[in-house]
Structure 1
Amino acid sequence: MKNLVLALGIFLVAFSAKAQEKTVTIKVTIENVMNDNGTILTSLHTNETFMKGGGMIDLAEKAKKGSLNFTFENVKPGSYAIMVLHDENDNKRMDFEANGMPKENYGMSNNEMAMGPPTFADAKFEVADEDLELTIRF
């Protein structure tokens, strides 16, 4: 009986800690979408997933000239980066010119556009305990 009470107590403490874990919502506005072709692909990344395929959360929406809004929900505190691709031909990947330059528009959090591939350090932002609103420009 004593072991049952102890196990039940541990379960309740673990359950209440999980229930109190705060998550936030990140609202992202994508600006300067050049046309209505294809799809806008948006991914929330950690350092471990950045530039290695899919993100922690991946979203997609039909492209619309002008701006689009995306919402990442239930995001736990930590360091993240957002990458966005205008996949104009809907092949689910970035296409490149023969010289290695991207054919399709892309962007990332912090709007850092240095020469060469993006880095997590340039794109990262911190999620704490408040909802965020970010703007990414192609």
Structure 2
Amino acid sequence: MKTIAVLVAMLLGSLMFGQTDNPGSITVSVPNISSDQGEILFALYSEDTFLKRKPNFAGKSLVENGQASVKFENVPVGTYAIIVLHDKNSNGKMDFDTAGIPEENYGTSGNSMIYGPPSWGDSKFDFDGSEKSIEIRF
């Protein structure tokens, strides 16, 4: 009887923890793009890489009928933030005017409307390893 109880406990433990270790996917969509020119750049960051290094995952999409989306596959469980940029001239970076104000639209997973660079606290979300959809508006 003791052996059966131990086996059941091990099975339940492996089921509970096994599900959270599986990577999942995050689909990100932008529904309100003002023009079809250029492309939309998507970047998924962890806290250690947020605005400091290359993103953990990156993707891009053309704009079709004012919308764009990308799907990040095999994303491990964790806390992340997403930044999306409408790269109108397809130069791979955000362009600024002489006063330092962005000339291209951007948004974050927190959908916060702030002046200045995005913050980790306003943009972060927890990902449990399942399927997740996030809509980001410019």
- TM-score, with length taken from structure 1: 0.81
Tell me the alpha carbon deviations over residues 3-27 of structure 1, each in whole angstroms, 9 at most, x when there is no partner.
xxxxxxxxxxxxx9xxx43111111
1:118 is the counterpart of 2:83: no
Matching residue's letter, 2:85:
L
In 2, Cα distance between the equivalents of 1:72 and 1:81?
13
State the partner residue of 2:5: none
State the partner residue of 1:75: 75
Gaps of 5+ in 2: 1-13
User: Comparing both structures, which one devotes a greater share of its residues to strand?
Assistant: 1
Tell me the alpha carbon deviations over residues 37-69 of structure 1, each in whole angstroms, 9 at most, x when there is no partner.
111100110111111243111101122342122
- Where has structure 1 moved over 3 Å in runs of 4 or more? none
- TM-score, with length taken from structure 2: 0.81
Matching residue's letter, 2:30:
I
State the partner residue of 1:108: 108
The alignment-based identity, stated in percent, is 40
Gaps of 5+ in 1: 1-15
In 2, Cα distance between the equivalents of 1:73 and 1:41?
16
Contact 1:38 1:86 in 2 (8 A): yes
Contact 1:34 1:65 in 2 (8 A): no
Matching residue's letter, 2:62:
K
In 2, Cα distance between the equivalents of 1:38 and 1:129?
32
Tell me the alpha carbon deviations over residues 74-128 of structure 1, each in whole angstroms, 9 at most, x when there is no partner.
1111110000001111111100111111000101102012121111111000011
Matching residue's letter, 1:93:
K
In 2, Cα distance between the equivalents of 1:54 and 1:31?
25
SS at 1:122's partner residue? helix
In 2, Cα distance between the equivalents of 1:106 and 1:127?
22
State the partner residue of 1:93: 93
